[in-house]
Amino acid sequence: QRHRKLHQTNAPTYNHTYLSIYLSNAQKMHYSTSRRNNNRASPQAQLALLNLPSTTTVLSNVFNGTVNFTKRHPIPVSFYLLGLITALLGTGTVLTSTQRSQYNEIMNSVDTELEYRVSRDYQEAYQAWYGSKGWFTCDGMCERNKRIMEERKIVMEEVRAEGNNRVSDAKSVAGIFSTLGVGETRDSFWEYFNRGTKFAKRQSMWDALFMGMRKMGRDESWGEYALKMMMQVLMNFTFGMIMTLFIFVFSLWGIIRSYQPSLFEGLAFFLLAVSAGFATVATVLFGMFGTAGGAGFCVA
């Protein structure tokens, strides 16, 4: 009877424990089954589970935002489209046979050998003066070498000015809207553009180094480091492209003035060249930020 009472007392506890284990295993099986079903779900279902908008919704929002921005800011958008068309289709007018012959005749009259000779004489005089002067004093020999150096510098500047005037006369025959003027402007822009990209790459390399060193002493994941690095690279390229555009604009007027255009031609070419540079820089930055945003959306 005592054994029977103990068995009756422990039986409900045993059944309750067995039932708890059974329910726990059933919940685990249900969780694993639902997880496998979620992994095999369609991309649309996965986006719904992550609470992310679909691709169609994103494209629709981008299109509507572009239309609304165009309506609110028609002048910048028109300036951008003008520059984009100019950058893609603006090649300049081809020189006629008469213009080319006059251009070549004036360019052949430039005495490059004389410019080289006077430049070499000036460098020799400068080296002689630099070698004869002291730290804070200049004796008689030094003063003599200095006078010779200054005289040869004046001669060199006069010869260079004469050569630059003849080159400017040759350019005036071609015109600022010719293939020569447009080509020189393009070369100037891409030269500054390459400098801006080199600056951004060099700055991003140093940022990656120092940000990686700071990461060693912090509790942050590689994903956070990659996100910070991507934002830093975008900032560096943005600064480099903006700097490129400003330097190009400041140097542009010197190129235009060398072709001796009229006031209207100079202002028209300046406007078209600035719009083309602005459109190129803006397109590059839009592409970079769009690529970064698309990559972040795909990763998410």
Highest mean pLDDT among 7-11, 18-22, 36-40, 139-143: 139-143
The tens digit of pLDDT for each residue in 32-85 reads 555 555 455 455 554 454 555 666 776 677 667 777 777 787 788 888 899 999
The tens digit of pLDDT for each residue in 238-273 reads 998 999 999 999 999 999 999 999 999 999 999 999
The tokens of 250 are what?
């400041």
- Strand partners of residue 93: 178
Q: How confident is the model at residue 20 (pLDDT cuts 50, 70, 90)?
A: low
Torsion of CA 211, 214, 219, 220, to 10 degrees: 0
Q: Which pLDDT score, from 0 to 100, does residue 14 have?
A: 45
pTM to 2 decimal places: 0.68
Q: How confident is the model at residue 23 (pLDDT cuts 50, 70, 90)?
A: very low
Q: Which pLDDT score, from 0 to 100, does residue 268 have?
A: 94
Q: How confident is the model at residue 228 (pLDDT cuts 50, 70, 90)?
A: confident
